Amino acid sequence: MDTTEEKLKVHNRITPDFITSLKDNEIFVFGSNLEGMHGGGAARVAREKFGAVMGQGVGLQGKSYAIPTMQGGVETIAPYVDEFVAFAKQHPEQTFLVTRIGCGIAGFDDDEIAPLFVKAIDVPNIHLPESFWKELV
């Protein structure tokens, strides 16, 4: 995506920096660990506010969706992102608000994680952080 028109298409698909509530059709997408120990960062918010389940490190839980980011390098995160994108495509009635997964406690940078979401560019119900969009468009 290089054109101004394409960049404008994503303008309305930017995840807010701080999410404290969700609309009925919104899902909070956060970085987790495989053990589902949602103790800090966005994972803690997901547990305290949006139904994330302790012990469940992957997938939909309440009004949240966990993508594991703590198990190794970026290449270990990619299959979970692909699984998430496929899930979002199957649920067009939901809006998925992806947080800066992997860029907090897991220690990755936006330029390492954002490319994993290239398949999400054309999925209208996936919203990404502005910092990810800057890497993708």
What pLDDT digit, counting tens, does each position of 56-93 carry? 999 999 999 999 999 999 999 999 999 999 999 999 99
Is the model's pLDDT at 6 over the cut of 70?
A: no
Which residues, in sequence order, are CB contacts of 127 under 8 Å at separation 6+?
13, 14, 15, 95, 96, 97, 98
pLDDT at 2: 52
Q: Residues of the chain with pLDDT > 70: what percent?
A: 93
- Determine the topology of domain 20-136 in CATH: Leucine Aminopeptidase, subunit E; domain 1 (3.40.220)
pLDDT at 5: 59
Retrieve residue 106's tokens. Answer: 């897991």
Mean pLDDT of 26-49: 96
Q: Which of 10-14, 49-53, 57-61 has the lowest mean pLDDT?
A: 10-14
First and final C-alpha spacing in the chain: 5
